[in-house]
């Protein structure tokens, strides 16, 4: 079974939900870039202050900062495997990540692409806003995050298809079914 996977998909497609579940089932570390950024913001650090506005506006945080988060984890990830959620978000980030991962044998083996229509995303995230109150879960910002996804992140599907690593899943299916599908793909 492969043990180095990327979860790629629009906001609200279920990456975080599945990352947590797969991590519990498989004992692999779930590295969620958005969670790491929100933890930094909550800590009140200077770094947190610099990224706060970008995350709240649904903009991408600078590549150098994101690569810094990846860099410190790459050797352990090569050894133990990983479920990486929220990186890369652009072909450019993927190419930069490859330079870090390749020398230590940490490149992803499988890329799960979560397919879900925009309207379902908007419904899910406006519902989540009432429960969790995330700063970026208002309709205007959700639409902006979606537009950014289509323009910048979606090209990763073709990028990883060319490498034979991408698998698209129907992320509108019930949570259990999505988990089972990913496990099936991981088993190969």
Nearer to ligand AP5, 4 or 124 (CB): 124
Q: Where are the beta strands (DSSP E) in the chain?
A: 4-8, 30-32, 82-85, 110-115, 166-170
Q: What's the closest the beta carbon of residue 49 comes to ligand AP5, in angstroms?
A: 15
Both tokens assigned to 130: 């009432």
Q: Under the rule (CB under 6 A), what is the footprint of ligand AP5?
A: 9, 11-17, 33-34, 37, 54-55, 58-61, 66, 86-87, 89, 93, 124, 128, 136, 145, 174-175, 178
CA 54 to chain centre: 17
For residues 13 and 113, which CB has a smaller minimum distance to ligand AP5 in the complex? 13
Sequence-ordered list of residues with C-beta below 8 angstroms from that of 22, at least 6 positions apart, any chain: 5, 28, 30, 83, 179, 182, 183
Residue 28 CB, nearest approach to ligand AP5 (Å): 17
Please state the closest distance from residue 80 (CB atom) to ligand AP5, in A: 21
CB of 102 to ligand AP5, least distance (A): 18
Give dist(CA 73, CA 142) in Å, integer: 29
Residue nearest to ligand AP5 (CB): 34
Q: How far apart are CB 50 and ligand AP5 at their closest, in Å?
A: 12
Nearer residue to ligand AP5 within complex by CB, 28 or 93 = 93
CA distances from 180 to 74, 114, 119, 175, 176 (A): 27, 14, 24, 9, 6
C-alpha 146/C-alpha 139 separation (Å) is: 10
Q: Give whichever of 22 and 93 is closer to ligand AP5, judged by the CB atom.
A: 93
CA–CA separation, 95 and 86 (whole Å): 15
Q: Which is nearer to ligand AP5, 61 or 77 (CB)?
A: 61
């Amino acid at each position: 079974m492969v043990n180095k996977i990327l979860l790629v998909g629009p906001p609200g497609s279920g990456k975080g939900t599945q990352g947590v579940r797969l991590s519990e089932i498989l004992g692999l570390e779930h590295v969620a870039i958005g969670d790491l950024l929100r933890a930094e913001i909550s800590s009140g650090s200077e770094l947190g202050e610099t990224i706060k506005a970008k995350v709240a506006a649904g903009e991408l945080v600078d590549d150098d900062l994101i690569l810094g988060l990846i860099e410190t984890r790459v050797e352990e990830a090569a050894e133990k495997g990983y479920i990486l959620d929220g990186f890369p978000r652009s072909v450019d980030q993927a190419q930069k990540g490859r330079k870090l991962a390749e020398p230590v044998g940490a490149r992803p083996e499988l890329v799960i692409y979560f397919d879900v229509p925009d309207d379902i995303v908007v419904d899910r995230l406006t519902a989540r806003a009432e429960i969790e109150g995330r700063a970026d879960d208002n309709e205007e910002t959700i639409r902006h995050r979606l537009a950014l996804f289509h323009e910048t992140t979606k090209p990763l599907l073709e990028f990883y298809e060319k490498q034979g690593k991408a698998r698209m899943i129907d992320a509108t299916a019930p949570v259990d079914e999505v988990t089972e599908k990913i496990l099936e793909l991981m088993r190969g």
